Amino acid sequence: SPAGDSWGIFTFLCAALCNLPALPALNCSEELGAGQSIQQTYDLTRYLEHQLRTLAGTYLNYLGPPFNEPDFNPPRLARAERVPSATVDLDLWRGLTDNARLAANYRAYSRLLCYLRVLDGQVGTAELRHRLAHFCASLQGLVLSIGGVMSSLGYPLPAGPAGPPAGPPEAPPAPNDFLKKMDDFWLLKELQTWLWRSAKDFNRLKKKVPPAVVTLRLEARGF
């Protein structure tokens, strides 16, 4: 009868669904790990942006005028060129591969972290040292998180030590106090630009990597 045929087809489909091979668990976990890693790195980047706004204001007040004046916009000196620059044409930056952008972020934050650790040992107030130390810890977490994203996507880490370098970059000391303050000013300015651009990078990247999908698995019990 038609009713019997319909029931038979339904039973056949249920049996077929129950016996479908399971999806490879490794692939599922890799996609889930990449998506989670990218989201966490994006969130950390935004947190650091917020944290740096407060830290930069406090540090520039510590440096005093003209560095803490809102309209202070000095030309970039040759000394500041050793700080990784984020002032790359946006179209050229977006034209890079995901791997190249991630590697550039990893290298830049590793080096910026070294400069910040130098600042941490030079400031004269305990409160500012505490804030710098907290920010350095967060930035080191970002470096490691970027490395985790690269690994989850199958990209090799940039050549060099496995972690961020511990020692300060080789650079001659500033010849006077004003140029030393200028170095600090450009360090904070470049760091702000890097974090702003990185947030955009990871926001685009998380849209390219599909989110984790919850899979409903039917199990045959007693049929």
**At 206, is the secondary structure helix, strand, or coil?**
helix
- Distance in angstroms (rounded) separating the CA atoms of residues 4 and 91: 64
- Distance in angstroms (rounded) separating the CA atoms of residues 111 and 167: 10
Domain annotation covers residue 50: yes
Give the model confidence (pLDDT) of 109-132 as tens digits.
999 999 898 886 777 788 898 999
Domain annotation covers residue 6: no
Give the model confidence (pLDDT) of 5-23 as tens digits.
544 544 444 444 344 333 3
CA neighbor of 208 nearest in space, from 15, 31, 56, 85: 31
CATH code where residue 152 lies: 1.20.1250.10
Domain annotation covers residue 18: no
Domain annotation covers residue 5: no
- Distance in angstroms (rounded) separating the CA atoms of residues 102 and 202: 9
Residue 59: the pLDDT is 92
Domain count, the chain: 1
In sequence order, the 6+-apart residues with CB closer than 8 A to the CB of 203 are: 42
Structure tokens at 88: 């790359």
- Distance in angstroms (rounded) separating the CA atoms of residues 205 and 94: 11
Our CA angle for 55, 129, 116, nearest 5°, is 70
Domain annotation covers residue 99: yes
Asked if 152 contacts 33 with a C-beta cutoff of 8 angstroms, the reply is yes
pTM for the structure as a whole: 0.74
> In this structure, is the dihedral angle defined by the CA atoms of residues 172, 173, 179 and 180, taken in order, positive or negative?
positive
Segments forming the whole domain that contains residue 157: 34-163+177-208
Residue 9: the pLDDT is 46
Domain annotation covers residue 197: yes
CA 155 from chain centre, in angstroms, equals 15
- Distance in angstroms (rounded) separating the CA atoms of residues 105 and 90: 14
Residue 84: the pLDDT is 81
CA neighbor of 205 nearest in space, from 94, 108, 106: 94
Domain annotation covers residue 156: yes
Domain annotation covers residue 51: yes
Q: Which residues of the chain have pLDDT under 50?
A: 2-3, 6-7, 9-32, 161-168, 213-223
